[in-house]
Structure 1
Amino acid sequence: MTVRVTVAQVTVADDHEANRYLVADAFAQAAKVDADLLLLPEYSSGYHRSGVGIEHAEELDGPYVTLLRRRAAETGVAVIAGTTLPGDDPAPDGGPRKGVNALVAVDGAGELVGVYRKVHLYDAFGTRESDRLQPGPVDAEPLTIRLGDLTFGAITCYDLRFPESARRVVDAGADVLVVPAAWVAGPLKAEHWRTLLTARAIENTVVAIGVGMAGKGVTGRSVLVGPDGVVGLELDETPQLRTVDLDADELAKARAANPSLANRRYTVVPREDRESSREG
């Protein structure tokens, strides 16, 4: 059985209402091609190049996730999308609390399947995401959603640079690794994006799908890489939607030929749990 996936490489604005219209249209386009799953970028509810924080946050019962659930129920298309939730940590200057960079998964009946709160904040390449956002708990259950014969698991953007994040989702049963991102542009950044997605696909024998945001200051370049490292889809920097079919039988064949998951000798343990076990 195949699972049809629409990758929506869209440009996200600071205007949340405008973004909801954009997402509603993406659902319509996915439904037209009988997609089972719509993938949207990180921060797809609202984004600003200077940073995203509490001013962009909405509750899970707010307008954005409510729209995702309604459109999923209307079209039968499941969705994985990035958003920003309110956090509870104060800002460094004692100002308002921070936001939380999050992913939500909604099934084709409109039910909220789960939420992932980004663990690795982007404090790199001259940017400090932690000034505006708080990280998610390292020991939270991985975000997965089952569609047909495939399980999709998700991490966010900068998490991609940490192979343990992907491996933990795979240990939770993921056959397809989804990475919504607003991958900041810069020297070699597009090359890093492609290389890291390829590495995560090969080492975990999964299909890896990087869903990039289009627009100024970000790279776009959504990529789908098979478990053999072959790139099956690669977009440029412009906004566009593309649809692919994923075959569970083909994935099973790749894992039989390269049983690296079965042959490994190490597990992934969240750092805080490891430290507490040493103390005990």
Structure 2
Amino acid sequence: MANIHPTAVIGENVTLGEDVSVGAFCVLDGKISIGSNTILHSHVAIAGETEIGSGCEIFPFASVGHQPQDKKYAGEQSRLFIGDNCTIRENVTINPGTSGGGMETRIGNHVLLMAGAHVAHDCQLGDHVILVNHVALAGHVIVDEHAIVGGLSGVHQFVRIGAHSIVGAMSMVENDVIPFGSVLGNRAYLGGLNLVGLKRRNFDREEIHTLRAAYRMIFSNEGTLRERVEDAAEIFKGHELVDLVVSFVRKPSERSICMPKNGVGSHE
């Protein structure tokens, strides 16, 4: 049985799993599904076609699933999906998709959205992503698993942020961030690899050394980026971490790749 505060407003199309807790003055109105053991603290507002997994926790004044902030949005029945064990802190806003972006915003499992963060329409967040306080993702942004975006940072629409990368606080990111990359600044530049994150997640020491060697090759000053990527793909063929970076750079994108200021990043 769900535990619903008497002041909460629950629409007729809302489905609540076992042991869901809905706090005071929450408003749930839409085609909403919430998984078991999820907690909504007071004053949470959820709308639209929204699915939230189990074991999540949503804090006061979060706005989840309300109409996208996109002038092209014409009322299409788009969707928002949030996975399991996510934490959504105070004043977070998450918008559903639009017809121009696949009709769905999707957030993976074990995601932490700190206070004031904004996830715009058609964004895709992988598992274990962290958006620190007041991060703003524009529409169509992709943030892959284990990436961290530092506080007060902004991310341009259609940007991709690769797996295990980190964006420094107060950055403005207008280009794609490679997997394992570390970027910072306004406009953000590639400062090196996220070596701290690699070590914390227990990546093999030899694999990290190989990745560093490939990084130096890809972001050297000789030839074109495409040529350097193809060279790295051949020389480091079969190395999982390098393959991930190579595949990311090869993939077509609306944005350019975020580059170091002067050749190889300063951390390398």
Fold similarity call, TM over 0.5: no
By relative contact order (CA 8 Å, sep 6+), the higher-ranking structure is 1
In our comparison, the structure showing a higher alpha carbon Rg is 2
The structure where helix makes up a greater share of residues is 1
> TM-score under structure 1 normalisation?
0.24
